[in-house]
Chains A and B, each alone.
Chain A
Amino acid sequence: MGVVARTGVPDRHSEVLAQQSTDMPPIAYAAVAPVLIVLVAACLGVLVEAFVPRRQRWAVQVALSLLTVVCAGAALIRHAREINTGGTTFADTVAVGPATLFLWGTLLALALGAILLIADRSIEPGGAFVAETNAASGGTASRHPADAPGAASAEVMDRASASVVGMRTEVFPLVLFSLGGMMVFCAANDLLTMFVALEVLSLPLYLLCGLARRRRLLSQEAAVKYFLLGAFASAFFLYGLALLYGYAGSVKFSDIADATAGSLRSDTLLFAGLGLVVMGLLFKGSVGPFHLWTPDVYHGAPTAVTGFMAACTKVAAFGGLLRLLHVAFRASSWEWHWVLWSVAVLSMVIGVVSGLTQRDLKRMIAYSSIAHAGFLMVGAITLTERGLSATLFYLLAYGFTTLAVFGTIGLVRTSEGEATHLSDWAGLAKRSPVVATVFTFLLLALAGIPATSGFMGKFAVFSAAFSAGMGPLVVIALLASALAAFIYLRVIVLMFFNDPAPDGPTVSVPGAFTTAAITLGVVVTLLLGLVPMLALDWASVGGFVS
């Protein structure tokens, strides 16, 4: 019975079901320990919310979250040392192989940085997160016109009392749940597990988007928009899942792979199902033309959460997509290849062209992430071992750069909160040369200039794609990279060669947490640019198992 709940497969042979339900399937605890640690800690985090006094919650939650990620990482490393080829567990619903372990490692490392960013309370007094609008201020609300629906209450907004109100510490368990979902997502061995993981990773994200202390309306709008579009995408995924079940008679990746490798069943079911499932994944990965939510949500969500989403969700979504394509649909690749080929091109073009016209930094990075999703697609559809390791490397490199980018964006502020409009960044190099230099380096990494991890990632992906015979796509991608460079150059020009506005924003002195997160991102970006073998070796250990 437990098995049925986990696999979710309505087994046609009831006697098999009866037989299985009596024996618990063996569980390779060592393999899935990182996921278990994260999910258990998330539950503990909820208990902390319930039982720990309010004033101590922040410290407890931060310690718990960081400890969790570190422990999960340790468990991961311990298992990665002994693993050879990997295997499946939980009655074949979860497959842990070298590539999955790499994705897990990436996710955990990125989550560590994201939690550091989220935990910082020095930049925004009291932390960047609130849940309620008017509840806390009680009777004083009527005296403040700012307390329109959507505006944060005066008490929450007031700098003096902000530290008393404190930060909503629910964000930490929410992040952990989301992280757990992402990890399962990259390891799911059947579509139903994948769907459940998709929801586990998505639902906390929807909530996290709406928690911004400032610019409440934007934040809430982002959350609703993300939720509604995300629900549609989930529905598409589920519909596709049903069609694929109709085609293959199973939701297991390996069964679908067997079915596609030479059967006379209806191709309509296969391709309609595959299309809908992939659509759901592309939505999560913010690949154009399924990107419509990205700019709004990146813009509206609290910047630290945007960093978490941009880095980790992308890794998870592409991890899932890579698994799906490599394990389940490799045999039918020649039939769907051209569709994803054009999706990649479309994503690059949309990202670059729209990115050029943006006036807000967070939206600009959002469009740049759409362009990067296009580059990642180039690697994802090669379906070769080199393509896989290159894409994994790209994800790692991109994740760290993006995390540091959003960490840095959060530092430049006016009295209204973060100053994300491009004109606010004019002449930043004069006010704060260090922040401007760090941000320039990160932008150059996003542009793919050599000596940064961004370049190594692009190079690895493009050379793998070239070897897989996708020369024209590589040329298009290179041209898109050249155009995309202009997006980033514009910001560098603004920061270094323009004069600052007299009433321009100030640069906050980052607290220890934010400094650590940004430093982590910058160091990894530089290291992977100079010594890519550090991660490339590990990414090339092996592929997915099923």
Chain B
Amino acid sequence: MNLLLALILLPLLGAIVVALLRGNERAAKPVALGFSLAELVLAAVAWASYRPGGARLQLSGSIEWIPTYGISLSFGLDGIALVMVAVIALLMPLVLGFSWRERLPSERSRGGFFALLLVEQALTVAVFAATDVFVFYVLFEIMLIPMYFLIGGYGGSRRQYAAVKFFLYSFLGGLIMLASAIGAYSYAARTTGQGTFDWATLRGVLADAPTSVQVWIFLGFFAAFAIKAPLVPLHTWLPDAAEQAPIGVAVIVVGVLDKVGTFGFLRYSLPLAPEASQLLAPLVLTLGVVGVLYGSLQAFAQTDLKRFIAYVSIAHFGFIALGIFAFTSQAQVGAASYMVNHSIATGMLVLVIGMIIARGGSSRIADYGGMARVTPLLAGMLLVAGLSTLSLPGTNSFISEFLVLIGSFATRPVFAILATVGMVLAAVYVLRLYQRIMQGPLSGTALLDSAGGPGAATDPEFAASGGTGSGASRLALRDLDGREIGVLAPLVVLIVLLGLYPAPVLDVITPSVEATMSEVGVTDPVTSQGGN
């Protein structure tokens, strides 16, 4: 518990310190980075102390908060929460590193930006660690506020619209979830005489609840999570948010924040409403597969780089939902590891695209072309991120996607086959993007104008260097500098390492997934292991 509490409070402390220093950017930035690195160390310690075969929830602890309603501040980690905490701890220093010199809207202080990012990190860690349904809801909603200010205060030209849309969608979903949480509480109060919001207790009580009760509870939680991890009819906030948010924030949104939704499916929807989740699985699977296909096609059609990322993510969330609701342990392990791998792959994709935008000053795909000639390293990075996104064997995402498909084929062959089409489409949209931006002759207004154009203004150092490194080209395009390589290198290493040797993640996740499966009361179909 103490370790977990430190994990939650350290970024918060960092945020306070950075907020106090926000007038002095030179001091605020290293302090913020220092806190995020310390958090990474803490996360590593937590990972080391976690025993995969041990208790369902580890590092757990509880403080009484509102005894009248059976609410206590309870925290604990299972394997899935642990890897998500590790992912945000990993991404945050990279995001700070990326945003080190990113241009912000006028009169906005970078210290404030970094402080808000650290607050968001603390709340996200807490939301993954919460083991009291009420506390989870509270954090789920509070999490929106720093994000609202991050998007609305530091984003693009339509940032207000995007921020309000983001907030209202998530807030509405959260309130519907609250109705379900209250319903679960009331049911517990009626059957056991003692109302509670404790996750483990509720799980035990609700396991025997009639299906009709479970269906309502399931639907309430589902509304919140389907908005968060956008499933297709509820996804429209994500392209706007991703387009308008600054790159660093977009990484956190698609990399971590949205995972709260899929995490919620695994931690809350399935165990709290086991019968209903099986009953309604076809609904979720349909939405998931529709999301895979629709997201892929939309990604193919996008003209804006950031919206492209949003639709790629929507397609991937469809995969994750498919894996979770196929109810085989293979598929669920695949889905849970996909949550990590998607964060790494898409996080890197967003960062690389952010670096492209920093050079061209535009997020329109048509404004770029043939960059590989001038910036071979950047092109290579985009290729690595893209290949991981399309799940090329040998990259980290492949093993997850493969597990999801093979696992879901055992129980839901039709859905699995349809989703496989999504894999093919992914190859098409990623490679086409790479081709348009990187290959062929140098073209595109953003690049040709960039010598003295908006691209120069985005990066002061670049303007100062005056394009001396461009060599053969008369264009002042600069390849990756040391800071940018430092930001991307850890992700490249992880993509390759986890692609070749996924065991570290899978070992941590598998026991938790198996526990979830047994809580739902499902066993794997014999055929999937029997080599039928």
Contacts and interface: CB of A to CB of B under 8 A. Distances in A.
Interface of A: 430, 444, 449-451, 455, 459-460, 462-463, 466-467, 471, 474-475, 478-479, 481-482, 485-486, 489-490, 493, 496-498, 532-533, 536-537, 540
Contact of B68 (A449, A450, A486, A540): A540
Given A449-B141, A463-B182, A533 B175 contact: no
B282 to A, nearest CB: 24
Interface in B144-203: 145, 149, 152-153, 159-160, 163-164, 167-168, 171-172, 175-176, 178-179, 182-183, 185-186, 189-190, 195
B171 A485 contact: yes
B167 A489 contact: yes
A492 to B, nearest CB: 8
Contacts of A489: 164, 167-168
A482 B164 contact: no
B50 interface: no
Contacts of B153: 496-497
B182 A497 contact: no
A255 to B, nearest CB: 34
Given A430-B107, A444-B145, A533-B67, A451 B138 contact: yes
Nearest to A498: B160
Contacts of A430: 107
B100 interface: no
Contact of A485 (B160, B168, B183): B168
B41 interface: no
A482 B68 CA distance: 26
Contact of B176 (A449, A459, A478, A485): A478
Given A450-B141, A467-B186, A496-B153, A474 B179 contact: yes
Nearest to A444: B145
Contacts of A486: 164, 168
16 contacts: A449-B142, A450-B139, A462-B182, A463-B69, A463-B182, A466-B179, A466-B186, A474-B179, A482-B172, A486-B168, A489-B167, A493-B160, A497-B153, A497-B159, A497-B160, A537-B68
Contacts of B183: 466, 471
A489 B168 CA distance: 9
A455 B190 CA distance: 24
Contacts of B186: 463, 466-467
B164 A532 contact: no
Contact of A474 (B107, B152, B163, B182): B182
A466 to B, nearest CB: 5
Given A466-B183, A496-B153, A450 B138 contact: yes
Contacts of A479: 172, 175
B46 to A, nearest CB: 25
A493 B163 contact: yes
A466 B182 CA distance: 7
Contact of B66 (A449, A451, A482, A533): A533
Interface of B: 66-69, 107, 137-139, 141-142, 145, 149, 152-153, 159-160, 163-164, 167-168, 171-172, 175-176, 178-179, 182-183, 185-186, 189-190, 195
Nearest to B152: A497
Nearest to A485: B171
A497 B107 CA distance: 11
For the complex of A and B, 8 pairs with smallest distance between CB atoms: A450-B138, A482-B172, A478-B175, A463-B182, A466-B182, A467-B186, A450-B141, A497-B160
Nearest to B183: A466
A459 B178 contact: yes
Given A449-B141, A449-B142, A496 B178 contact: no
A140 B316 CA distance: 78
A474 B172 CA distance: 14
Q: B68, B139, B168: which has the most chain A beta carbons within 10 Å?
A: B68
Contacts of B190: 467
A533 B189 CA distance: 19
A466 B188 CA distance: 12
A498 B297 CA distance: 36
Given A451-B138, A466-B182, A482 B163 contact: no
Contacts of A449: 141-142, 145
A493 B164 contact: yes
A485 B139 CA distance: 17
Contacts of B145: 444, 449
Contacts of A451: 138, 142
Contact of B178 (A478, A533, A537, A540): A478
A499 B66 CA distance: 42
B171 A536 contact: no
B429 to A, nearest CB: 33
Contacts of A444: 145
Contacts of B139: 450
A113 B139 CA distance: 31
A460 B178 CA distance: 12
Contacts of A455: 138, 141
A463 B185 contact: yes
Contacts of A475: 176, 179
A277 B189 CA distance: 36
A532 B189 CA distance: 20
Contacts of B69: 459-460, 463
A498 B163 CA distance: 13
Given A449-B141, A450-B137, A496-B152, 8 more contacts: A449-B142, A449-B145, A455-B138, A466-B186, A474-B182, A482-B168, A493-B164, A537-B68
A430 B171 CA distance: 27
A536 B69 CA distance: 10
B65 to A, nearest CB: 8
A209 B166 CA distance: 40
A516 to B, nearest CB: 26
A444 B141 CA distance: 11
Given A430-B107, A463-B69, A467-B186, A481 B175 contact: yes
Given A451-B138, A489-B168, A536 B68 contact: yes
Nearest to B69: A463
Contacts of A496: 149, 152-153
A468 B494 CA distance: 53
A466 B190 CA distance: 12
A462 B164 CA distance: 25
A501 B168 CA distance: 27
A481 B182 CA distance: 15
Nearest to B154: A497
Contacts of B182: 459, 462-463, 466, 474
Contacts of B159: 497
Nearest to A469: B186
Nearest to B149: A496
Contacts of A466: 179, 182-183, 185-186
B410 to A, nearest CB: 37
A200 B145 CA distance: 44
Contacts of B167: 485, 489
Contacts of A482: 168, 171-172, 175
Given A430-B107, A449-B142, A482-B172, A467 B149 contact: no
B8 to A, nearest CB: 14
A187 B178 CA distance: 35
A478 B223 CA distance: 13
A536 B66 contact: yes
Contact of B179 (A450, A478, A493): A478
Contacts of A498: 160
A532 B66 contact: yes
A493 B155 CA distance: 13
B164 A450 contact: no
A374 to B, nearest CB: 15
Nearest to A465: B182
Contacts of B137: 450
Contacts of A450: 137-139, 141-142
B346 to A, nearest CB: 27
A482 B67 CA distance: 27
Contacts of A478: 175-176, 178-179
